[in-house]
Structure 1
């Protein structure tokens, strides 16, 4: 489980752009903190390259 800044680093986007770029929803932990599951992030990344018809430039635009 990663916090927002760690998740942003993991997927390669700036932390301030992460919430608007990455479609993965955080999980509210019992202590109230939001955390991102690495498996969910991996699934999202796999979807970007999964042949959904987007060009490399479209994918790079989403990441940067």
Structure 2
């Protein structure tokens, strides 16, 4: 499980732009922290590669 900065780094996205570009919903942990599941991030990245991006933010993310 990754925090937002780690998830942005993992995806190769600038942390400041990560929330706007990545449509993966973080998981609320019992301690109140929100973490990103690497498998969810991988699924999202795979959808970008295959052209299955479904939102405008996904399409903008593909443009860089």
TM-score w.r.t. the length of structure 1 is 0.81
Structure 1 runs of 4+ aligned residues shifted over 2 Å read: none
Aligned partner of residue 49 in structure 1, secondary structure: helix
RMSD between superposed Cα atoms in Å: 2.0
Distance in 2, Cα, partners of 1:31 & 1:42: 25
5+ residue gaps, structure 1, are: 53-57
Which is greater in Rg? 1
Query: Is 1:23 paired with 2:19?
Result: no
Distance in 1, Cα, partners of 2:31 & 2:43: 26
- Count of aligned pairs between the two proteins: 59
